[in-house]
Amino acid sequence: MASIELRSVGKRFGSHEVVRRVDLLVEDREFVAFVGPSGSGKSTLLRMIAGLETVSEGEILIDGQSVARVPPAKRGLAMVFQSYAIYPHMTAAENMSFSLRLAGVPKAERDAKVREVARALEMEALLERKPRALSGGQLQRVALGRAMVRQPKAFLLDEPLSNLDAALQAQMRLELVRLHRELKTTMIYVTHDQTEAMTMADRIVVLNEGRVEQAGTPLELYNRPASLFVAGFIGAPKMNFLPAQGAEGRTLGVRPEHVRIGEGGELAGEIVALERLGARTYVHARLTDGTRLVAEAAGDTGVREGDRLAFRILPEGRHWFDGSGRRVT
Amino acid sequence: MTRQRHRVRTGPLMTPAVGMLLVWMIVPLLMTLWFSAQRYNLLDPGGTAFAGLENYRDLVTGRALWVAMGNTLLLVGAVLAITLAGGTLLAVLLDREFPGRNICRLLVIAPFFVMPTVSALVWKNMLMNPVFGLIAWITRSLGLGAPDFFATAPLAAIILIVAWEWTPFAVLILLPALQSLSKEQREAARMDGAGAAAMFLHVELPHLRRPMAVVAMIETIFFLSLFAEIYVTTAGGPGLASTNLAYLIFQDALFEWDVGLASAGGVVAIALANVVAIFLMRVVGRTLEAER
Ligand SMILES: Nc1ncnc2c1ncn2[C@@H]1O[C@H](COP(=O)(O)OP(=O)(O)OP(=O)(O)O)[C@@H](O)[C@H]1O
Ligand SMILES: [Mg+2]
């Protein structure tokens, strides 16, 4: 149970500025996701919170206390790594109880703790196995269990699901959300997958080149993206960007579900591809000025490739951005 | 390309290689066995005759064989222990970040590339010599007198020299192994509260088990037949104090010209090597099995 506060935190590797003046308050029991493209500094930010990386500028506070001089193990945080980082020579149970063993907790107490966590994760049968005898998903559980055994104030997870297959990812996503609800702890979750962030997080922090582009709830980010970058990053398929007529340098952003086909629309174009998903169809078109547009249509829409159609943009779905990519309200 | 499977007879293709191996291995072995059953001294060419187990009886009842065998085992054991411990320690230190690390690594590895004869000579004449050796100069200037290592503790001196030569080998194998330890695993251990000591004991050392087993295996092969260092420094002396099996055989063959006795010694050495090999395979093999 902890709030984590970043005060204009920056990180430099040599002259390379990787994180720039990040201000952020993660509330107690909040589930926050850091998203951004590869190299945007998500992991670096998380590792600074964990204490694995020094902070070049600013400060980090946990429960209001600066942790500049607190070593990683004493911050009361637990981390789950992308590679799981399971100790290969220890059984699952030994992996999970390692921190307690180092802290000098008696064996009986350690075992009880490990069993309790294993029950919560439904992995009691795996406890005596060595890592080499475990599958990716099972290793993932051991890594989670190892973090939970310490009863941390907050969990830090760095792309924990990226090595799992799609079905397992979906299952683990639900499980993580359930764990978050049951454990009532703060969680910071790093991912480059916006769907993961949208489905799990209370709040999303979008990072771009080490800067916070926007922080807000998933729907805030979806409905009112603060910049072109966020608009393009959140939502699948991506938002359409059209050079605006009239206003110089402005861009009009519109999501596929806010484009209507063939109703006396102001745009004309040719269908170049159809993406049929069953319940709905994404219609890819090339407009007369050459820009691409994706529109959402019904699953049984009758349009075909090569059709020339008109498109209308719903007024409530218009997002305007100025020349520097900022949102214009 | 046809999809048809060709049943190539590999036998004829392998014959030359296997034949070579057999000739190189089996023929000398058989000859050694044959000679070991002969009364055959080069100083008395006329007296050659079949001797049965006489040579072996001479060996077993004499003191030299047992002393040499003890020395061999002591030498192997002591140098193994020193090089493994020292090599691991150095590898862990050289794995840390510090200024001048690359130069340090180079210097640590360097002794391995010096010929055994040369390094033995350097140790004998420049470092351990009681009259003009560096160590003697230091101890003398401290008023402690000058120790004569090769006279008072010859085997220990040789152990020191060989350990100096072979510790770099251990580092050479163990350092890259240590560097292959994943960064995230160390970080996980740090988050779990492991300090330097716990990190070494619970993360680094287990990771080094396999490479350490490999080092032990390779080094044993070389240490069982150690020769140049003994030949150059003590010539097996004083008395038998630093004679190992290899040196004993050399002495029997080339000082006493007793081919029969030397061959019998050779057979005993082969037997010892096999015993050690089986023992090692057991211990090391289990280590290799246990992981992964
Ligand atoms: N130890 C380091 N030394 C120098 N540069 C580093 C170091 N660690 C990270 N960087 C750089 O910092 C930038 C951000 O890295 P970071 O790992 O935080 O990105 P990320 O957002 O987690 O990306 P990904 O999604 O690929 O994991 C990258 O440009 C990377 O090259
Ligand atoms: Mg990362």
Query: Mind listing the domains of chain A with CATH numbers?
Result: 4-229 (3.40.50.300), 238-321 (2.40.50.140)
Interface contact A79-B187, CB threshold 8 A: yes
Ligand nearest to the CA of A36: 1
pLDDT in tens, B147-171: 888 888 899 999 999 999 999 999 9
Greater model confidence, A298 or B280? A298
Task: Count CB atoms within 10 A of the CB of residue A35.
Answer: 27
So what's the pLDDT on residue A115?
93
At A28, is the secondary structure helix, strand, or coil? coil
Greater model confidence, B73 or B2? B73
What residue owns the CA closest to ligand 1's atom 29? A39
Under the banding of pLDDT at 50, 70 and 90, the label for residue A27 is very high
CA pair distance B217, B278, nearest whole angstrom:
11
Helix, strand, coil tally for chain A in percent (to 5): 30, 35, 35
What residue owns the CA closest to ligand 1's atom 1? A13
Interface contact B193-A99, CB threshold 8 A: yes
Under the banding of pLDDT at 50, 70 and 90, the label for residue B291 is low
Q: Average pLDDT for residues B206-225, to the nearest whole number?
A: 90
DSSP symbols for B237-277 = -STTTT--HHHHHHHHHHTS-BHHHHHHHHHHHHHHHHHHH
Q: Could you list which residues have their CB under 5 Å from ion ligand 2?
A: A 43
In chain A, the N- to C-terminal Cα span, in Å, equals 37
Q: Average pLDDT for residues B218-233, to the nearest whole number?
A: 90
Sign of CA dihedral A319, A322, A327, A328: negative
Q: Average pLDDT for residues A315-325, to the nearest whole number?
A: 90
pTM of the model: 0.81
Q: Residue A249: is it exposed, middle or buried by C-beta count within 10 angstroms (0-12/13-18/19+)? A: exposed
DSSP symbols for B88-151 = HHHHHHHHS--TTHHHHHHHHHGGGGS-HHHHHHIIIIIIS-TTT-HHHHHHHHTTS----HHH
Sign of CA dihedral A55, A72, B179, A140: negative
Q: Residue A305: is it exposed, middle or buried by C-beta count within 10 angstroms (0-12/13-18/19+)? A: exposed
So what's the pLDDT on residue B279?
86
Which numbered atom of ligand 1 lies nearest the CA of A34?
Answer: 21
pLDDT in tens, B238-267: 888 888 888 988 888 787 788 888 888 888
The domains found in chain B, sorted by start residue, are: 36-291 (1.10.3720.10)
Interface contact B189-A132, CB threshold 8 A: no
So what's the pLDDT on residue A203?
95
Is residue B292 over pLDDT 50?
Answer: no
So what's the pLDDT on residue A301?
87
Is residue A71 over pLDDT 70?
Answer: yes
Nearest-by-CA chain B residue for A143: B188
Show residues of chain B in contact with A132, CB under 8 Å. 292
ipTM of the complex: 0.84
Q: Residue B247: is it exposed, middle or buried by C-beta count within 10 angstroms (0-12/13-18/19+)? A: buried
A89 near B CB under 8 A: yes
Show the tokens assigned to A281: 């169809």
CA pair distance B273, B58, nearest whole angstrom:
21
CA pair distance A40, B202, nearest whole angstrom:
34
- Percent pLDDT > 70 in chain B is 96
Show the tokens assigned to A237: 């398929």
CA pair distance B113, B168, nearest whole angstrom:
9
Among B191, B200, B288, the strongest candidate for a mutation testing the A interface, having the largest count of A CBs within 10 A, is B191
Is residue B65 over pLDDT 90?
Answer: no
CA pair distance B110, B168, nearest whole angstrom:
7
pLDDT in tens, A93-132: 999 999 999 999 999 999 999 999 998 888 889 999 999 9
Show the tokens assigned to B227: 């020769």
So what's the pLDDT on residue B54?
80
pLDDT in tens, A214-252: 999 999 999 999 999 999 999 889 999 998 777 778 899
Under the banding of pLDDT at 50, 70 and 90, the label for residue B1 is very low
So what's the pLDDT on residue A1?
65
The answer to whether A258 and A307 are in contact (CB under 8 A) is no
Show the tokens assigned to A248: 């110089």
